[in-house]
A and B are shown apart, each in its own frame.
Chain A
Amino acid sequence: MAATQPAEDLDASLTRNFPPKRRRFATYIQRTWPLHVLLLPAVIIALIYSYVPMLGIVIAFQDYVPWLGIRESEWVGLDHFRYLFTYPDAKQVIFNTLIISSMKIVLHMIVPVVFALLLNEVRLSWFKRSAQTLVYLPHFLSWVVLGGIFVDILSIRGGIVNRFLSMFGIDPIFFLANGDWFRATIVLSDIWKDFGFSAIIFLAALAGVNPALYEAAEIDGANRWKQVIHITLPSITPIFIVVVTLSLGRVLDAGFDQIFNMYNPLVYAKGDIIDTFVYRIGLLGAQFSFATAVGLFKSVIGFILIVISYRMAYKWANYRIF
Chain B
Amino acid sequence: MIGQRSSKQNRMKILLAAALSSVMALSACSSNTEPGTSGDPGGNTDNPSATESPVLSDPVGFKYDPPISVTTAMVFEQQTATDFKPGENIEDNVHTRWLRDTLGIDLSFDFISPKREDHDTKMRLMLAGKNKLPDVMKASTVLATDLIMAKKVMPLNDLIETYLSPNLKALYEEYPGVLYPVTKDGNIYGLPNMYAMDEGTIMWVRQDWLDNLGLQAPTTIEEFEEVIRAFTEDDPDGNGKDDTLGLAVSLKDGPYQWMSSADSLVGAFSDHMAQTGDMRMFWSEDADGNLEYGTIHPSMKDFLAAMNKWMANGWIDPEAGIKDAAKASEIAASGQAGIIFGPYWMNGYPLSGVPEFQPYPNPVGPKGGAGRAEKAMVHDYTMFSSEFEHPEAIIGYISKLYATNFGVDDPYYDPFFKNGWHEGYDYVLHDGKVVRQDFEGEGVPQDKWPVPDDGKTAVRVHFPLTGSTFIPYLGDDAFQKFKDNPDAEILNAMEARVQASQPRQLDAGLVRISQNDTAIYNRFGGAPTKTMESKGELLSKLETESYLKIIYGDQPVDYFDEFVRQWRANGGDQVIQEVNEWYKEMAK
Instruction: Please report A residues at the B interface, Cβ cutoff 8 Å.
Output: 65-67, 69-70, 83, 87-89, 148, 151, 155-158, 174, 176-177, 264-266, 268-269, 272, 277, 280-281, 284-287
A265-B321, A265-B548 as given contacts; A280 in contact with B146, CB under 8 Å: no
Q: Could you tell me if B321 and A66 are in contact, using CB atoms closer than 8 angstroms?
A: no
Closest to A266 in B: B321
Listed by A's residue number, 25 A-B pairs whose Cβ atoms lie within 8 Å are: A66-B128, A66-B146, A67-B127, A67-B128, A67-B151, A67-B152, A69-B130, A70-B128, A87-B538, A151-B327, A155-B319, A156-B319, A176-B319, A177-B319, A264-B252, A264-B322, A265-B321, A265-B541, A281-B537, A284-B528, A284-B533, A284-B537, A285-B528, A285-B533, A285-B536
Q: Which of B124, B317, B336, B537 contacts A286 (CB 8 A)?
A: B124
Closest to B120 in A: A286
B356 at the interface (CB under 8 A from A): no
Q: How large is the interface on B (under 10, 10 to 19, 20 to 34, 35 or more residues)?
A: 35 or more
> Mostly helix, strand, loop or mixed at chain A's interface?
loop
Closest to A89 in B: B538
From A87, A177, A287, residue with most partner B Cβ within 10 Å? A177
A67-B127, A151-B319, A157-B319 as given contacts; A284 in contact with B279, CB under 8 Å: yes
Q: Which of B128, B279, B318 contacts A156 (CB 8 A)?
A: B318
Instruction: Please report B residues at the A interface, Cβ cutoff 8 Å.
Output: 120, 124-125, 127-130, 142, 146, 149-152, 243, 252, 278-279, 317-319, 321-323, 327, 331, 336, 528, 532-534, 536-538, 540-541, 544-545, 547-549, 552, 570
Q: 10 tightest CB-CB pairs across the interface, nearest first?
A: A67-B150, A285-B533, A265-B544, A264-B322, A66-B124, A67-B127, A281-B537, A66-B128, A284-B536, A66-B127
Closest to A272 in B: B541
Q: Could you tell me if A157 and B536 are in contact, using CB atoms closer than 8 angstroms?
A: no
Contact partners of B570 in chain A: CB under 8 A: 88
Q: How far is the CA of A157 from the CA of B149 in the complex (A)?
A: 51
Given contacts A174-B318, A266-B545, A272-B541, 8 further A-B contacts (CB under 8 A): A66-B124, A67-B150, A89-B538, A177-B322, A265-B545, A268-B541, A285-B532, A286-B124
Q: Which of B130, B152, B318, B532 contacts A157 (CB 8 A)?
A: B318
Closest to B151 in A: A67
A88-B538, A88-B570, A277-B537 as given contacts; A265 in contact with B252, CB under 8 Å: yes
Q: How far is the CB of A280 from chain B (nearest CB, A)?
A: 5
Q: How far is the CA of A158 from the CA of B323 in the complex (A)?
A: 16
Closest to A88 in B: B538
Q: Which of A69, A88, A264 contacts B128 (CB 8 A)?
A: A69
Q: How far is the CB of A91 from chain B (nearest CB, A)?
A: 13
From B319, B532, B540, B545, residue with most partner A Cβ within 10 Å? B319
Q: How far is the CA of A79 from the CA of B537 in the complex (A)?
A: 18
From A87, A88, A89, A266, residue with most partner B Cβ within 10 Å? A266
Closest to A264 in B: B322
Closest to B277 in A: A265
Q: How far is the CA of A253 from the CA of B547 in the complex (A)?
A: 29
Q: How far is the CA of A285 from the CA of B532 in the complex (A)?
A: 8
